[in-house]
Amino acid sequence: MQSYTVQPAKSVRGEISVPGDKSISHRSIMFGSIASGVTKVTGFLRGEDALATLEAFRAMGVQIDDDGETVTIQGRGLHGLSEPTDVVDCGNSGTSMRLLTGLLAGQNFFSVLSGDKYLRARPMKRVVGPLAQMGARISGRAGGEKAPLAIQGSKLKGIDYDSPVSSAQVKSAIMLAGLYAGGETVVREPHLSRDHSERMLRAFGAHVETFPGGVKVRGGAELTGRDIVVPGDISSAAFFMVAALIVPGSDLLIRGVGINPTRTGIIDVLKGMGGDLELTNQRDESGEPVADIRVRHSKLTAMEISGEVVPRAIDEFPAICVAASLAQGTTVVRDAAELRVKETDRISAMADNLRRAGVEIVETPDGMKITGVAALKGCAADSFGDHRIAMSMMVAGLVAQGETSVSDTECIATSFPGFVSLLEGVAQR
């Protein structure tokens, strides 16, 4: 088990680019594989999660070539996938498993999805349930709640589904099944979750219509391959935004970051806390808005984080917790129960780690209360096998008094290979 020790930094300075967006990378492989013709992807994230999706489609007969610059997908069309000869390994990737469950539900073959011990512990009924309403035949441990999942492809029908959670994975799984279903499939959610699937499926030629509170998909449309440019992942940039805000004397430019409005909750929250963040060079790439983000050290103030901003910042909460731990006052997080069913229970994991660093934290069922301190203490932190917990605590270590060691850091490779070297490259000591 790898661990990493972080020394305090005097400032965080320079210009960086972060790896490609994980959500868009996953979808580029999936949609390109079921499109007709060639799809070329630049900026693809070569992290373990996205590579698990790539290997899954290779296992279903799709030719995918990667020269290190461009990933080229020879699309097989909507009904061109082949039955995999073995269990499809999704690794640690919830996106791979949940979206593939929806896509495979409408095929004419049998498949089994599994993953590592962390993924096999995550809830799957949230997609298995609505897919069953469409006619999907899916079985798994604990009545379909846990992987491995066995999927016997079948004829599907469109449904009108009110999702109890705002989850892009749930929405996208149902949308993908909707491509193969008769009639129209409608998904509604409490608050708008990230909309990469809607944007990209429409670009590939699917019949997708968005409306306030939801999305409609009409089955049967053939998709056509296209070129995709993947922007930098705002979830990866979030660690560097927080680092530059909390380390005195910092001034950092992060180039080419995706600023899809369903993902910019992190910017809204950090600005709401008094953070100095400036978006420059705004542009559009492959239907996704992109910008450079300049961040300078700022004195942060506590705030309440709840409601519609939560699903727009759901993956960034571990980093937000670090910012809140140094903000003046008590930050209150509500409506974030979804954090308890991520790679780990991120509410408990961050509370545990930041308490070790001297922060007063009270957990609630759907969030937490974080009372900021003047300075963090160096500590022995535990990633709990979660890449975002690991990276957040390494950022916290930049301002802690004394060394901070973070255990089980191999998990960082799932989303951000090269994180450590990039962080050390901008940390001035």
Consult the annotation and say whether 342 binds a ligand: yes
**Residue 315 falls in the annotated catalytic set:** yes
HSE of 402, CA atoms in CB hemisphere, 13 A? 9
Consult the annotation and say whether 188 binds a ligand: no
Consult the annotation and say whether 169 binds a ligand: yes
Consult the annotation and say whether 17 binds a ligand: no
Distance between CA 35 and CA 75 in Å, rounded?
5
Consult the annotation and say whether 356 binds a ligand: no
Consult the annotation and say whether 388 binds a ligand: yes
Consult the annotation and say whether 76 binds a ligand: no
Angle at CA of residue 405, ends 401 and 407, nearest 5°: 155
Consult the annotation and say whether 27 binds a ligand: yes
Which is catalytic among the residues 116, 195, 233, 315? 315
Consult the annotation and say whether 315 binds a ligand: yes
* Binding-site residue positions: 22-23, 27, 94, 122, 167, 169, 315, 342, 346, 388
* Binding-site residue positions for phosphoenolpyruvate: 22, 94, 122, 169, 346, 388
* Binding-site residue positions for 3-phosphoshikimate: 22-23, 27, 167, 169, 315, 342
Catalytic residue ranges: 315
